[in-house]
Amino acid sequence: MRMFVALWLAFLCGADATAGLPATSDMPSLAPMLEQVTPAVVNIATYTTVQVRNPLMDDPFFRRFFNIPEDQRRYRRTQAAGSGVIVDARQGYIVTNNHVIDRADEITVTLSDGRALPAKLIGTDAQVDLAVLKVSTDKLSQITFADSARLRVGDYVVAIGNPFGLDQTVTSGIVSALGRSGLGIEGYEDFIQTDASINPGNSGGALVNLRGELIGINTAILAPAGGNVGIGFAIPSNMVAAIMAQLISHGEVQRGRIGIRVQAMNAELAKAFNVNFVEGVVVVEVDKDSAAGKAGIAPGDIIVKVNERDIKRVSDFHSQSALLMVGDRVGMTTLRDGKQRQVRFELVAEDYEQIAGERLDPRLAGVQLQNFRSENDPSTGAGILVTDIGDDSAAWARGLRPGDIIVAVNRKAVKSIAEMADTPPNPKKELLLRVYRAGEFGYIVIP
């Protein structure tokens, strides 16, 4: 041992620093893979025109006193940046996060070779936080999809993006966890967790394996101190591919509704249902008119498999639900009274026609509404989804935003547009909306 230490010290003090490896040996490096992959990761710049609001301008007495016209408005131009991934070089399709391009009226994509191109928005899915853009040019590179279902905790991964405006930044780490949900970030959550550094500007960038295949789209970080702490989240590539196909084909996601709500199996429920395992989910509510209800699914059934995916946790069920579209045939394996059952049904389209908010109340002018039903979050169940809102509307000024779910109006619960229309708010009183947003409830008052 002493002789080894002496030789090691002699090496440090007097030997050539390059003598540790033969001159002909290559150092292990990710560079060859990254040289192929990084040209497919782009910078996305968005430009948005927003109204500059001054509370004094909303005061009619102030406007009359200073003789300010009613329609006098001021606007300013804002800019934001993020990342995107070219997934189809021939067609020019780029995948990014919905929050990167949300409300943008101009989108510019800058390629790794410096070319800046205008991008067309093909479609978005706010529930999963994905968007598809399209550029028209040649000589594009693309990243191929990997099967994210084959990921394991401990697999090495590389994150590529443009954090803080720094072009083409690469960080590495491992898969820290799979199936992360319940974070209140998106409507459907099935995140890959990684310790590869993800920072502001990385959103929409690529998470790849060591073969350079896309395994996820970087989306969010857990940052209690405002910076990276080694907990980042990415949307799995299988979910990205399914949502992207819908957006390209239809411009929107035509997600099918199974019609059930579930809770996790635990030791107490396993004993009550006389089963010897604690994996799977238990059906707690079924909509009778839904596809699952018509197929015979009932409260108390234990779901252990949907199509080819084993259902061990509630997150497994929710993430699989996010990938089931209108027209899909669903195979479900359930247990009832200790006996295994195989159920098959087809998901059909439902009427989710949008209506203008002013049809329900003049104070909702500029707001687009749509019925909403949730299998993913039992705390909402059903309500009225805000699909779009003008930034010059009174509701926008008071804090209502796209993606909000209205669950009560003037302290009365509403589960549909029809219920709100049956009991219209009093126009002489303020409009009190109880909304659900990102895992929390809150109130919005519109005078």
Residue whose structure tokens are 């061990």: 312
- Which of 99, 125, 301, 316 is labelled catalytic? 99
Residue whose structure tokens are 């997934």: 87
Q: Which amino acid is at 387?
A: T
Structure-block tokens of residue 63: 């406007």
Q: Which of 344, 173, 338, 147 is nearest to 238 (CA)?
A: 147
- Which of 83, 148, 181, 203 is labelled catalytic? 203
Structure-block tokens of residue 205: 């960038």
Q: Which of 70, 49, 42 is nearest to 58 (CA)?
A: 70
Q: Which of 284, 282, 294 is nearest to 258 (CA)?
A: 294
Residue whose structure tokens are 């080819």: 308
Q: Are strands 120-125 and 281-286 parallel, antiparallel or unpaired?
A: unpaired
- Which of 83, 125, 129, 237 is labelled catalytic? 129
Is 129 considered catalytic here? yes
Q: Rounded to an integer, what distance in angstroms lies between the CA atom of residue 148 and that of residue 214?
A: 9
Q: Rounded to an integer, what distance in angstroms lies between the CA atom of residue 285 and that of residue 48?
A: 43
**C-alpha dihedral sign at 294, 295, 300, 305:** negative
SS3 of residue 445 by DSSP: strand
Is 250 considered catalytic here? no
With 0-12 / 13-18 / 19 or more C-beta atoms within 10 angstroms meaning exposed / middle / buried, residue 231 is middle
CA 192 → CA 168, 234, 253, distances in Å?
Answer: 22, 5, 22
Distant-in-sequence, close-in-space partners of 253: CB < 8 Å, separation ≥ 6:
123, 125, 127, 128, 243, 246, 247, 325
Q: Provide the edge-to-edge strand list for the sheet that holds 74-88.
A: 116-118, 106-110, 41-52, 74-88, 93-96, 130-134, 120-125
Catalytic residue ranges: 99, 129, 203
